[in-house]
Amino acid sequence: MVASSKGNSDSKKIIIFMLVLLVLLGTLQYQKDIYAKLSKFKISSSVDYYEVLEISPSASDGELRNQYKKLVIKYHPDKNPNCHSCKEKFNSIMEAWEILGNPEKRKSYDESTGFVVQIPSSTLTLTADNY
């Protein structure tokens, strides 16, 4: 009987170990999938695309699109044939638009760069006077 209970105990340990291993592997696979999803966007962390487009991270999609169009017209190489810096600026604008113009890529960019869009609030900061 003692040998039987020891075998039962070993079987339970093996089952628990297998379950823990499965949970760990599932977690690793999930993290791998998230990383793959974010890395496919090829987001450069050294460039602030909102700064390139001269707009706030809290700008709406419509405001972003209007600003993009304005800058593209202003810096287009055909409008500025002798301006080398305009061509570089135009290329930067196009790169920024590729990321920020796509809602899914914009969301990933914002999450990966730490931009947080603040939601307007009518809350009151508590002080000793208004508590």
Q: Which residue has the higher pLDDT, 93 or 126?
A: 93
pTM (two decimals): 0.55
Q: Does position 1 have pLDDT exceeding 60, yes or no?
A: no
Would you tell me which CATH number, out of the four given (2.70.70.10, 3.40.190.10, 1.20.1260.10, 1.10.287.110), belongs to the domain 49-113?
1.10.287.110
Confidence class of residue 37 from pLDDT cuts 50, 70 and 90? low
Confidence class of residue 8 from pLDDT cuts 50, 70 and 90? confident
Q: CB of 99 within 8 A of CB of 43? A: yes
Please choose, from the candidates 101, 89, 96, the residue with its C-alpha nearest in 3D space to the C-alpha of residue 63. Answer: 101
Confidence class of residue 114 from pLDDT cuts 50, 70 and 90? low
The three state secondary structure string of 5-32 is: HHHHHHHHHHHHHHHHHHHHHHHHHHHH
